[in-house]
Amino acid sequence: MANLTGCSTNTVDTSVEPASPQKLATNEQKTSIKIIQRNNAQNNVQRGKDKHQLEYEQKQRWYHQQWELTQQINQQRQRAQAQAAWQVQRSQRVVNADYSERLAQAAIDRLRYRVNYNGAYIPIAYPNGDVPSNIGVCTDTVIRSYRRLGVDLQRLVHEDISRAFYSYPNLPICGLQGPDTNIDHRRVHNLKVFFARHGQRLAVTGNPSDYRPGDLVTWSLGGDQEHIGIVVDQRSAVDPRRFMIVHNIGEGEKMEDILFKMPITGHYRYFPGSRRPQLAYAQQY
C-alpha cells in the first residue's frame, strides 16, 4: 500500500511504563516528610507563643465559628420568613380579589331597591343601625353594601373615632365634642379618614385602569360638600377601559359612568381583616 505523503510510517510506542514499587515508596516518603515538616513548623510557631496568646487565638477561632454559625442561622431564618411572607401576601391577594368582586356585586344589588335621597338626622340603633330602607344618601350606599358582606361600618367608624377623635378633623371643626353613632359613619369626610387609616389610600390619577372594582372614590361637589361611590365590575360603553360607579347623588341609587365627571378627592381600597396601619394626620384628609 502506498505511503501517505507527509505521514510517518514509524510505529509510535504509546505504552506507559508502570511505576516501580521503589518509586511509589519514594513519593509517599516525600509526601510524609512534607507533612511532618509543616506540622513541625506550626509547632515551632506555637512554641514561640505564650499561654495567653494561644488562649486568645483559641477564643478568636471560637468566636469566628460562632459568628459564622449565627450568620447561617440568620440567613435560614430570613429565607423562611421571606417565604412565609410571600405565601401570606399571595393568599391575601386572592382573598382581596374575591372581596373586591363581592363588594362590587353587593353595590350592584343595591340597584334593586327604591331609595329616596334624604340626609336628615335620624336616631338609629347601635350596632348595625340603619335609617329606614327607603331613604338614604351616598354614604348609605357604601354602608349597606359593606353590611351585605357582614361589615358594620357604623360600629367600626364609631370605635375608631372614640380612639382617635382628633384624627377626624371635620368633627372638631363642626363643634362636636365626641362621637355620635347616629351620624358619624354617614359623613363622607369621616369615611375618608377611616378608609385611609384602616385600608389603602391610593393615588388619584386620570388613568381609568387605576380604578378597580371594589374601590371607593370620593368627589368634590363644591365648597365643603363631597360625594362617594363604589367602582363596580361593569365597563363604560363610551370607554371600555373605565368601570362604572354605583352611587346616590340625589336621584336614588344608580350605576353611571361618572368616574371623571367631577373632581376626584380620594381613592381608597378597604378590605376588613387585612388592616394596613397608617398614621393619620388631620391636615392630610
| pLDDT per residue as tens digits for the range 177-235 | 899 999 999 999 999 999 999 999 999 999 999 999 999 999 999 999 999 999 999 99
pLDDT at 134 over 60: yes
pLDDT level of residue 28 (50, 70, 90 thresholds):
low
Query: Across the chain, what does the average pLDDT equal?
Result: 84
225 located within any domain: yes
Cell numbers at 260, concatenated: 371623571
Mean pLDDT of 87-99: 70
Mean pLDDT of 92-101: 77
28 located within any domain: no
pLDDT level of residue 39 (50, 70, 90 thresholds):
low
CATH number at residue 252: 3.90.1720.10
What is the predicted pLDDT for the residue at 281?
32
189 located within any domain: yes
What is the predicted pLDDT for the residue at 156?
98
Q: Calculate the alpha carbon distances from 105 to 41, 110, 148, 149, 227 in Å.
A: 83, 9, 10, 10, 20
Nearest CA-CA partner of 132 in 142, 144, 150: 144
Mean pLDDT of 250-265: 98
- How many structural domains is the chain composed of? 1
253 located within any domain: yes
pLDDT at 15 over 60: no
What is the predicted pLDDT for the residue at 283?
31
pLDDT at 9 over 60: no
pLDDT at 251 over 90: yes
pLDDT level of residue 280 (50, 70, 90 thresholds):
very low
Question: Containing domain of residue 213, as a range?
Answer: 92-284
Cell numbers at 152, concatenated: 358594620
What backbone phi and psi angles, to 5 degrees, belong to 87?
A: -65, -40
What is the predicted pLDDT for the residue at 282?
32
129 located within any domain: yes
| pLDDT per residue as tens digits for the range 41-86 | 666 555 566 778 888 888 888 989 999 989 989 998 898 888 877 7
Which of 23-37, 208-222, 254-268 is predicted with the least confidence, judged by mean pLDDT?
23-37
| pLDDT per residue as tens digits for the range 123-133 | 999 999 999 99
192 located within any domain: yes
207 located within any domain: yes
169 located within any domain: yes
Cell numbers at 176, concatenated: 362636636
